[in-house]
Amino acid sequence: MLNMAEGLDRLRTLAEGSVVAEVARAFQAAGFELAVVGGPVRDALLGREVNDLDFTTNASPDEILEIVTPISSTQWDIGRAFGTIGAKVRGEQVEITSYRADSYDGVTRKPTVEFGDTIDGDLVRRDFRVNAMALQVPSVKLIDPTGGVEDLVAGILRTPTDPNVSFGDDPLRMLRAARFSAQLGFEIEANTLDAIGRLRETLKIVSPERIQGELVRLMQTDDPARGIRALVDTELIEEFLPEVSALRLEVDEHHHHKDVYEHSLTVLTQAIELEHSRHPDAAPDVPLRIAALLHDIGKPRTRKLEPGGAVTFHHHDVVGSRMARKRLQALRFDGDTTDAVSTLIELHLRFFGYAEGTWTDAAVRRYVRDAGDLLERLHILNRADVTTRNKRKASRLAGAYDDLEKRIADLREQEQLDAMRPELDGNQIQKILGIGPGREIGEAYKFLLDLRLDEGVLGPDVAEQRLREWWAARG
- pLDDT value, residue 221: 97
Residues 6+ apart with CB under 8 A from 34: 23, 24, 27, 28, 55, 56, 57, 96, 136, 137
pLDDT at 102 over 70: no
Q: What is the pLDDT of residues 118-146, one digit of tens each?
A: 999 999 999 999 999 999 999 999 999 99
Provide the 10 A C-beta neighbour count for residue 106. 10
* Long-range pairs for 206-209: beta carbons < 8 A, 24 or more residues apart: 206/109, 206/171, 206/172, 208/240, 208/330, 208/331, 208/332, 209/332
Q: Domains plus CATH for the chain?
A: 1-149 (3.30.460.10), 155-240 (1.10.110.30), 255-419 (1.10.3210), 426-473 (no CATH)
Nearest to residue 340, comparing CAs of 300, 383, 377, 296?
377
Instruction: Report the pLDDT averaged over residues 228-246.
Output: 97
Nearest to residue 290, comparing CAs of 316, 325, 315?
325
- pLDDT value, residue 463: 83
d(CA 398, CA 388): 11
Instruction: Report the pLDDT averaged over residues 105-112.
Output: 62
- pLDDT value, residue 413: 73
Q: What is the pLDDT of residues 376-395, one digit of tens each?
A: 999 999 999 999 888 998 89
Residues 6+ apart with CB under 8 A from 96: 23, 34, 54, 55, 56, 57, 59, 64, 68, 84, 85, 86, 87
Q: Given pLDDT bands bounded at 50, 70 and 90, which one contains residue 255? A: very low
Q: How far is CA 149 from the centre of its chain?
A: 29
Are 43 and 37 contacting, i.e. CB atoms less than 8 angstroms apart?
A: no
pLDDT at 211 over 50: yes
Q: What is the pLDDT of residues 276-302, one digit of tens each?
A: 999 999 999 999 999 999 999 999 998
d(CA 475, CA 472): 5
Strands ordered across the beta sheet of 134-136 = 74-76, 84-89, 92-98, 53-57, 34-37, 134-136, 141-143
Cis peptide before 437 (omega within 30 of 0): no
Q: What is the pLDDT of residues 151-177, one digit of tens each?
A: 999 999 999 999 999 999 899 999 999
pLDDT at 420 over 70: no
Q: What is the pLDDT of residues 62-82, one digit of tens each?
A: 999 999 999 999 999 888 888
Nearest to residue 76, comparing CAs of 86, 66, 64?
86
pLDDT at 343 over 80: yes
pLDDT at 305 over 90: no
Q: Given pLDDT bands bounded at 50, 70 and 90, which one contains residue 149? A: very high
Average pLDDT across the chain, whole number:
89
How many helices (H) and strands (E) would you count in the chain?
24, 11
Instruction: Report the pLDDT averaged over residues 352-357.
Output: 72
